Chain A
Amino acid sequence: MRRLSAAAALMLAPVIGHAAGWDIDQLLHGLAQIRSDHAGFVEKKFIAMLDKPVESSGELFYTAPDHLEKRTLKPKPESMILDHGTLVIERGRQIHRLQAQDYPELAAFIDSIRGTLAGDRRALERNYRLELNGSAEHWTLQLLPLDEKIRAVVKRIRIAGVRDAVRSIEITQADGDSSLMFIEKLVRP
């Protein structure tokens, strides 16, 4: 019985999407039109090992299709730049340079955000099952990892937005730690 209903849910899922008259393709197509973006963010991380949540804020820069920059200004300046699969993390005088391909979990995680911003459905569906809820006015795109290795790290990524603007990203890790980032558009060059 349970299997049957699961199958039914799977079959119905796209139908529901279509029924709303607005689907993932349209959402991603809209997002893909944005070639570059600049936004502010406020992020809160809940980590079990730490006694209290970590709050940070800063700015986001995005240039289609694969340049993503996160500049944290508070509490401590640091930056993360993803460019062509190389992840550079600058913290004070320290610079960490990582090749995303060496860390499949990290690559999948970063690609979820990059892929959404770039409207790259193929890249997203390589690693995630996509679920879209809501309307064009107020949507939530949920990414559920397909690969077991990734599922061991990331449980769920939930991206919410208004029309073709991303408003929040919520990441729930497998061990229960989570982060919630609110994004506020600054300027559109």
Chain B
Amino acid sequence: MKPAPTRRGLTALARTSIVLWLAFILACGVVISRSRVTTDLSAFLPRSPTPAQQLLLEQIRDGLASRLILVGIEGADAPTRARLSKQIARRLRAEPAFVSVNNGEPVGVERDRAFLFDHRYLLSPAVTPARFSVDGLHAALRDSIDLLASPAGLLVKSLLPRDPTGEMVQLLDRLDSSARPQMIDGAWASRDGARALMLIQTRASGSDTDAQQQAMAAIRQAFDAAPGASAAAKLVMTGPGVFSVTSRETIEAQVSRLSIVSVALIAALLLMVYRSFSALALGFLPVISGALAGIAAVSLCFGVVHGITLGFGTALIGEAVDYSIYLFVQSEQGGRDQQRWVKRFWPTVRLGVLTSICGFASLLLSGFPGLAQLGLYSIAGLIAAATVTRYVLPHLLPPDFRIHDVSAIGLVLSRLVQRAAALRWAAAVLLLAACTILVLHRADLWDDKISSLSPVAQADVALDTSLRADTGAPDVRYLVVVSGASRESVLSSSEHVSAVLQAQVDRGELDGFESPSRYLPSAATQHARQSSLPSPGILEARLAQAVQGLPVRAQLFAPFLADVAAARSQPLLQAADLERTSMAMAVDALLLRQGDHWSALLPLTAPKGASINAGRIRAALSATGLPDVLFVDMKAESDQLYSGYLHEAILLSLGGLIAIIALLLLVLRSPMRVVRIIAPLAAAVITVTAGLTVFGQQLIILHLVGLLLVVAVGSNYALFFDRADHPPMAEPGATARSISPRTLASMLFANLTTVAGFGLLSFSNLSILQAMGVTVAPGVILALIYSAIFAGQADA
């Protein structure tokens, strides 16, 4: 038999290709089995310009407010809600996963007060040498006596003999001044009284999603198991940790659902076209190879694979499957005709792959790690899918491989394409309208707020806002950050900054602020306070003078003399001494250490109903001349960073476009042809963008990625049309300057699978995926239509 040697020759080549391919798949499998999937959304938040600043932002995100879970109990009646709140709190306070559970019940207050009282002479800012002079003592005593006679006298009476200068009152004033929710039936309740409130702090940081999930489960369990539970009562939770848990759940659910539906949809579509299960199975081989290569590449380069990347990958199935569609549909006879396909069409497909790579390469440079992942995934996936289609798939096809004859569809398309040129004017008008819309909306085309990327549902954001308003939990927008080389130096700077901020509070520029130095003064300050205390003999003499003219006798204050004498030799307060008080939590959150770099955070509270005048605070701070003191508006800062990166991404995309044009010029060596290829793609991009604007979608960075995909996928169509106009020399008898019906049919199918894959993303409730879906699905349809309309037949 004559074909035998050929077949054996083919088999030898085939064997090598198949073995290499299998080895590659195996390697990818090994890499993937070791890779970690993350849903941490910071991957889609911009990285800060400098590592130090980035570190700081991460610490802030991790430390201050991230451990807070805000809980509301709704439904039932007020006594039931309060009872539930107390039962849940009692159970959770016993669990080590929670640092504090606050629902208004006075828990730990006595321990805190005892600590403050025992260290009052080290902690009180009123302790100065002047206060312990005769005049100072007289004034302080007169004040305390006045207070004793005032409505608050009830509180200070028992303290007077030990603390006649009122240091404890000084401390309580500073610590207890923040507004708190009202109490109903012994537990916190919202202002309208409709829900009971709890503020829970977890031990684990908010970025530890697993721990946060467990904490949420524990809270829910405590609620379900509470003896006071009633069917009418409902538990709601919010907070940064809760958001990461629900986002992860959303992403995981979306990704698995999207991939299942997308594979099923594309398989059904292909089955309808091929009418052959073996063709369907073979057609998916490049797709699977591409997906595996993409995940493995991302895992190798980034260490982790993001859930969003996987979700995006399901959409890319629709594009990767195109190559096998081209192979199957464009091979006219089956069997050895695939070799002819390789000769005739592969150069065009290869050029399409290369243009796509140029486009995605720009994403690799992005400041968003998430976008760089998408870029790498796409590049690796497309190269793998195309390579497998070219070098492996033809060898795997059975000799009599044949798909359902699609020439009927092809002929219909052919007739349509011939008439497409008639639509040129209509297309031109549409394009003009699109350009007009874009020019009119050029100012608000882009959404430059970082929240636009958030996967958190609007309803959850609303709940968070309302619970925060109810509990008065800080949202940590404004901060002063003090950095230094030691704890002592940042504490000492914090004290200076506190003095400046206190002046701003007195002037009404601020409602209040927090500082770690309030709970843990610097050693220098503590020492200065300690040395302000006179020796027992001197103090006794001064006291005897100071009480003159006051309605008290000096003998009353014997316990005071003893306490001051003890305080003079009291060891200075260390961080460890705060343990087991609620002040430890505050210091933990406000004082951060990174190696030998220390930072203190001083969160500011805006005056009621007004915002903080950043300029004035900055000016006041810089007037102190303290180095390493930074005023941060977290929201403005991250919005500004985001809009910076948005502009960067726009520039990078333009760079990608230039790279594509350069590539086409290099390969085709004809500016006219390049213009003809680019024109329909540009038209599609403009029309889609205008369409999105008309439908009220402000563009986020992911729309831009979608536009890049429109160019990448659309370039294949444009190249096929271009190829028909300029048949390669290698193709014998290719004189007819019209695109073949089979090629047209293959493009339609390829287009449909892409639309199916990306169209699904439009229904996602993750803004990141939805943005890509609504851009790519209509974009590629338009790219195909524009390519047909602007194809060159008409100028023949």
Assess whether A98 is in contact with B152, with CB atoms less than 8 Å apart.
yes
Partner of A49, one of B160, B173, B182: B160
Assess whether A106 is in contact with B149, with CB atoms less than 8 Å apart.
no
Assess whether A89 is in contact with B104, with CB atoms less than 8 Å apart.
no
Partner of B552, one of A49, A70, A154, A175: A49
Assess whether A109 is in contact with B149, with CB atoms less than 8 Å apart.
no
List, in ascending order, chain A residues with CB within 8 A of B104's CB.
101
A76 and B146 in contact (CB under 8 A), knowing A98-B152, A103-B155, A104-B106? yes
- Complex Cα distance, B144 from A49, in Å, reads 12
List, in ascending order, chain A residues with CB within 8 A of B151's CB.
70, 80, 87, 89, 110
Assess whether A50 is in contact with B173, with CB atoms less than 8 Å apart.
no
Q: Which residue of A lies closest to B142 (CB)?
A: A76
A50 and B176 in contact (CB under 8 A), knowing A78-B146, A101-B183, A106-B155? no
Within 8 A of A (CB), among B134-150: 143, 145-150
List, in ascending order, chain B residues with CB within 8 A of A56's CB.
149
Partner of B146, one of A91, A98, A173: A91
Within 8 A of A (CB), among B660-689: none
- Complex Cα distance, B179 from A121, in Å, reads 27
- Complex Cα distance, B231 from A182, in Å, reads 51
Assess whether B152 is in contact with A50, with CB atoms less than 8 Å apart.
no
A49 and B180 in contact (CB under 8 A), knowing A102-B109, A103-B155, A109-B154? no
Assess whether A52 is in contact with B551, with CB atoms less than 8 Å apart.
yes
Assess whether A47 is in contact with B154, with CB atoms less than 8 Å apart.
no
- Complex Cα distance, B141 from A45, in Å, reads 18
Within 8 A of B (CB), among A47-95: 47, 49-52, 54, 56, 70, 72, 76, 78, 80, 84-87, 89, 91, 94-95
Q: How far is the CB of A73 from chain B (nearest CB, A)?
A: 13
List, in ascending order, chain A residues with CB within 8 A of B161's CB.
49
Q: Which residue of B lies closest to A105 (CB)?
A: B154
List, in ascending order, chain B residues with CB within 8 A of A106's CB.
152, 154-155
Q: How far is the CB of A3 from chain B (nearest CB, A)?
A: 31
Partner of B149, one of A47, A87, A99, A110: A47
Within 8 A of A (CB), among B169-198: 169, 172-173, 176-177, 179-180, 182-183
Assess whether A153 is in contact with B154, with CB atoms less than 8 Å apart.
yes
B556 at the interface (CB under 8 A from A): yes
Partner of A96, one of B148, B154, B169, B553: B169
A84 and B551 in contact (CB under 8 A), knowing A49-B148, A54-B149? no
A49 and B556 in contact (CB under 8 A), knowing A97-B173, A99-B176? yes
B157 at the interface (CB under 8 A from A): yes
Q: Which residue of A lies closest to B179 (CB)?
A: A86
Q: Which residue of B lies closest to A72 (CB)?
A: B150
The A-B contact count (CB < 8 A) is: 81
List, in ascending order, chain A residues with CB within 8 A of B177's CB.
97
Q: How far is the CB of A165 from chain B (nearest CB, A)?
A: 21
Q: How far is the CB of A97 from chain B (nearest CB, A)?
A: 4
Q: How far is the CB of A185 from chain B (nearest CB, A)?
A: 21
Q: How far is the CB of B538 from chain A (nearest CB, A)?
A: 24
Q: How far is the CB of A154 from chain B (nearest CB, A)?
A: 8
- Complex Cα distance, B160 from A32, in Å, reads 38
- Complex Cα distance, B180 from A51, in Å, reads 39
List, in ascending order, chain A residues with CB within 8 A of B556's CB.
49
Assess whether B552 is in contact with A50, with CB atoms less than 8 Å apart.
yes
Q: Which residue of A lies closest to B512 (CB)?
A: A97
Q: Which residue of B lies closest to A66 (CB)?
A: B182
Assess whether B150 is in contact with A99, with CB atoms less than 8 Å apart.
no
A177 at the interface (CB under 8 A from B): yes
Assess whether B551 is in contact with A96, with CB atoms less than 8 Å apart.
no
List, in ascending order, chain B residues with CB within 8 A of A109's CB.
154
- Complex Cα distance, B550 from A47, in Å, reads 14
- Complex Cα distance, B147 from A110, in Å, reads 16
- Complex Cα distance, B149 from A45, in Å, reads 7
Q: How far is the CB of A42 from chain B (nearest CB, A)?
A: 14
List, in ascending order, chain B residues with CB within 8 A of A96's CB.
152, 169, 173
Assess whether B150 is in contact with A91, with CB atoms less than 8 Å apart.
yes
Within 8 A of A (CB), among B407-428: none
- Complex Cα distance, B556 from A49, in Å, reads 8
Q: Which residue of A lies closest to B148 (CB)?
A: A47
- Complex Cα distance, B169 from A94, in Å, reads 11
- Complex Cα distance, B629 from A177, in Å, reads 52
Q: Which residue of B lies closest to A109 (CB)?
A: B154
- Complex Cα distance, B285 from A49, in Å, reads 93
Assess whether A173 is in contact with B179, with CB atoms less than 8 Å apart.
no
List, in ascending order, chain B residues with CB within 8 A of A91's CB.
143, 146-147, 150
Q: Which residue of A lies closest to B188 (CB)?
A: A101
- Complex Cα distance, B150 from A84, in Å, reads 20
List, in ascending order, chain B residues with CB within 8 A of A78's CB.
146, 150
List, in ascending order, chain A residues with CB within 8 A of B146's CB.
76, 78, 91
A102 and B145 in contact (CB under 8 A), knowing A50-B552, A80-B150, A96-B169? no
List, in ascending order, chain A residues with CB within 8 A of B152's CB.
80, 87, 89, 96, 98, 106
Q: Which residue of B lies closest to A86 (CB)?
A: B179
Q: Could you mark each residue 112-152 of chain B with 1 if its beta carbon is under 8 Å from any beta carbon of chain A, else 0?
A: 00000000000000000000000000000001011111111
Assess whether B109 is in contact with A50, with CB atoms less than 8 Å apart.
no
List, in ascending order, chain B residues with CB within 8 A of A87's CB.
151-152
- Complex Cα distance, B126 from A20, in Å, reads 57
Assess whether A51 is in contact with B551, with CB atoms less than 8 Å apart.
yes
- Complex Cα distance, B311 from A159, in Å, reads 72
Q: How far is the CB of B624 from chain A (nearest CB, A)?
A: 24
- Complex Cα distance, B157 from A52, in Å, reads 16
Q: Which residue of B lies closest to A95 (CB)?
A: B173
- Complex Cα distance, B109 from A177, in Å, reads 26
Q: Which residue of A lies closest to B152 (CB)?
A: A89
Assess whether B148 is in contact with A173, with CB atoms less than 8 Å apart.
no
Q: Could you mark each residue 309-338 of chain B with 1 if its beta carbon is under 8 Å from any beta carbon of chain A, else 0?
A: 000000000000000000000000000000
List, in ascending order, chain A residues with CB within 8 A of B150's CB.
72, 78, 80, 89, 91
Q: Which residue of B lies closest to A104 (CB)?
A: B106
Assess whether A49 is in contact with B155, with CB atoms less than 8 Å apart.
no
List, in ascending order, chain B residues with CB within 8 A of A89's CB.
150-152
List, in ascending order, chain B residues with CB within 8 A of A50's CB.
145, 148-149, 551-552
Assess whether A101 is in contact with B180, with CB atoms less than 8 Å apart.
yes
Within 8 A of A (CB), among B202-242: none
- Complex Cα distance, B156 from A153, in Å, reads 12
- Complex Cα distance, B148 from A87, in Å, reads 16
- Complex Cα distance, B158 from A47, in Å, reads 12
- Complex Cα distance, B95 from A138, in Å, reads 56
List, in ascending order, chain A residues with CB within 8 A of B157's CB.
47, 49, 175, 177
Q: How far is the CB of A67 from chain B (nearest CB, A)?
A: 14
- Complex Cα distance, B562 from A124, in Å, reads 42
Q: Which residue of B lies closest to A45 (CB)?
A: B149
List, in ascending order, chain B residues with CB within 8 A of A51's CB.
551-553
- Complex Cα distance, B556 from A47, in Å, reads 13
Q: Could you mark each residue 16-57 of chain A with 1 if its beta carbon is under 8 Å from any beta carbon of chain B, else 0?
A: 000000000000000000000000000001010111101010
Assess whether A173 is in contact with B154, with CB atoms less than 8 Å apart.
yes
Q: Which residue of B lies closest to A103 (CB)?
A: B155
- Complex Cα distance, B290 from A46, in Å, reads 89
List, in ascending order, chain A residues with CB within 8 A of B180's CB.
85, 99, 101
Central interface residue in A51, A96, A103, by most chain B CB within 10 Å: A96
List, in ascending order, chain B residues with CB within 8 A of A153's CB.
154
> Can you sample 17 A-B contacts with CB below 8 Å?
A49-B552, A49-B556, A50-B149, A50-B552, A80-B152, A85-B180, A85-B183, A89-B150, A91-B143, A94-B143, A95-B173, A98-B172, A99-B179, A99-B180, A102-B106, A103-B155, A106-B152
Residues of B that sit less than 8 Å from A by CB: 104, 106, 109, 143, 145-155, 157, 160-161, 169, 172-173, 176-177, 179-180, 182-183, 551-553, 556
What are the nearest 6 A-B pairs in CB distance?
A: A54-B149, A51-B551, A50-B551, A97-B177, A80-B151, A101-B183
Extra pairs beyond A56-B149, A98-B176 (15, CB < 8 Å): A49-B556, A51-B553, A52-B551, A80-B152, A86-B179, A87-B152, A89-B152, A96-B169, A97-B173, A97-B177, A99-B179, A101-B106, A106-B152, A110-B151, A177-B157
